[in-house]
Amino acid sequence: MTLVLKPAAMADAADLFAWRNDPLTRAQSRNHDAIAWDDHCRWLGRVLDDAGCLFLVAWQDGARVGMVRFNHRPDKGVWEVSIGIAPAAQGQGLGRLVLGAGVGRLRGENPGAVVLAAVLPGNRASERLFLGAGFVPVVSDEDCRHFLLGA
């Protein structure tokens, strides 16, 4: 059961769409509204073309099981992380593996990268994930708790 990270591609659109529209995912997202297919495809096209984005899909045993995306925020001097695990693959510890492998890949391409995670209040699973990966809580706002992984 080897985990492999591959660059995201338009061929991943259907699985990414399903994961993004999962009710639990929507509940833990800044925007709770369902995402339309056409909007998703436009968004994915923009993200794939963005040189300041590292978007990886996690594969295990020939199936997509999750994703991790890092968006460069030069104004903040950080890479903001977004992570999602396929609903059928949740609860197996894959979040920790995907995050760790993703950070390793990011830092391999961008040595010393600082990673920021924004977590909605009440999302205990994400808080545990980031704290367990060595992120530390930093100043938060009313919308999100922020966690930082230094260089």
Q: How far is CA 133 from the centre of its chain?
A: 14
Amino acid sitting at position 125: A
118 three-class SS: strand
* Average pLDDT value for residue range 86-90: 91
Q: Would you place residue 26 in the very low, low, confident or very high pLDDT band (cuts 50, 70, 90)?
A: low
90 class by beta-carbon count within 10 Å (0-12 exposed, 13-18 middle, 19+ buried): middle
CA–CA gap between residue 2 and residue 64 (Å, rounded): 12
Go through the domains of the chain in sequence order and give each one's CATH number. 3-149 (3.40.630.30)
103-131 pLDDT tens trace: 999 999 999 999 999 998 888 989 999 99
Report if pTM > 0.95. Answer: no
pLDDT over 90 (residue 15): yes
Please, which pLDDT band fits residue 27 given cuts at 50, 70 and 90? Answer: low
